[in-house]
Amino acid sequence: MIVDSIREVGILQPLKGIDISDWKPADRRRPDGGLYRYLAGFGEGRTAAAQRLYTETHEARWRTVPFIVVKVPVGELLTWFLSENFQREKLSWIEIAELLRADLKSGMTPAELAAKNHYTLNHVTKLLRVVGKASPKVMDDLRKMTVQQGETLTKLPHASQEIIVETLHEHGLHGSQMPAVVHMAQEQVAQTGTLSKAVLVRDIARLKQNVADQRKVLKLKRTHLAIGPQIYGDDILQDKKFLALLNERGIPWKPFMEEWKK
């Protein structure tokens, strides 16, 4: 999430650290043999995000990060570092969203939450919206989803969210298939005004069959390309003995030939 935030608005909060150029060379040696000049107290997440964006985009703006040199004891710098890592360690998006909601209830505004946690206002608003619109009955499942999947699900009323989650469980589907199921639910509501679990199950079964059919076609096409049409050309279509042999052995050759004719 921090990567998306920085991609959108950049690094708004500079890193802070101390000048260590007067330290012994052995205490500030870099892995490549050079010497570090500064020691950052916090901002590891922002630095990692900028490095990732530079790797992805090769844009010059991500090669460096804003940095403020301060004069504080090393012990205080270590306290900053430990504090930031403790706050962010192993927190899922929904845990962050729940913390934001608790601060919101205490009287903070979304803008204040964004500034406090170094997120964009859009991200804070999205997280609050997802947890705010989620049915209490789907919260456990929401924790297993990405924020994008959760946002897709919570656009629907509570009753529809619950039907979709139940259906996903019963048919062994997972979060990545959420958008497709939600789309089918939205289409059904648009046509009938309500969401029926039975109709949704029928639509999922139909979708599964369509996917299976498409996989069969792809498999035939791969086989066709692997054999190479130049090897047999049209002759194989005229060899009745060969086709009869395939029939005897129960080999379904007709779909293959249909693909060949295409």
User: What is the SS3 assignment for 227?
Assistant: helix
pLDDT at 101: 85
- Whether the pLDDT of residue 77 is over 70: the answer is no
pLDDT at 230: 47
Within a domain: 196: yes
- Whether the pLDDT of residue 84 is over 70: the answer is no
Is residue 238 located within the same domain as residue 167? Answer: no
Residue with the bigger pLDDT between 158 and 178: it is 158
Is residue 222 located within the same domain as residue 245? Answer: no
Within a domain: 100: no
Helix axis angle for 44-57 and 74-88, nearest 10°, is 70
Number of domains within the chain: 3
Tokens of 71: 């004069």
Is residue 83 located within the same domain as residue 7? Answer: yes
Helix axis angle for 197-227 and 178-192, nearest 10°, is 130
Is residue 202 located within the same domain as residue 246? Answer: no
Is residue 66 located within the same domain as residue 17? Answer: yes
Within a domain: 144: no
Domain that holds residue 255: 228-262
Give the model confidence (pLDDT) of 25-52 as tens digits: 888 888 788 888 887 766 767 787 888 8
Q: Of 88, 115, 147, which residue sits at a domain end?
A: 88
Is residue 218 located within the same domain as residue 252? Answer: no
Could you tell me which residues come within 8 angstroms of residue 197 by beta carbon, excluding any fewer than 6 positions away?
A: 163, 166, 167
Q: Of 55, 88, 121, which residue sits at a domain end?
A: 88
Window from 24-33, 168-177, 201-210, 225-234 with minimum mean pLDDT: 225-234
**CB-CB contact of 200 with 185 (8 Å):** yes
Within a domain: 138: no
pLDDT-based confidence at 216, cuts 50/70/90? confident
Is residue 31 located within the same domain as residue 21? Answer: yes
Instruction: Give this prediction's pTM.
Output: 0.48
Within a domain: 137: no
Q: Of 42, 67, 88, which residue sits at a domain end?
A: 88
Within a domain: 202: yes
Other CB atoms within a 10 A radius of the CB of residue 131 amount to 19
Window from 44-48, 181-185, 191-195 with minimum mean pLDDT: 44-48
Is residue 184 located within the same domain as residue 249? Answer: no
pLDDT at 79: 58
Within a domain: 64: yes
Is residue 204 located within the same domain as residue 257? Answer: no
Within a domain: 201: yes
- Positive or negative: CA dihedral 190, 196, 199, 203: positive
pLDDT-based confidence at 135, cuts 50/70/90? very high
Is residue 84 located within the same domain as residue 11? Answer: yes
Q: How far apart are CA 53 and CA 123, in angstroms?
A: 18
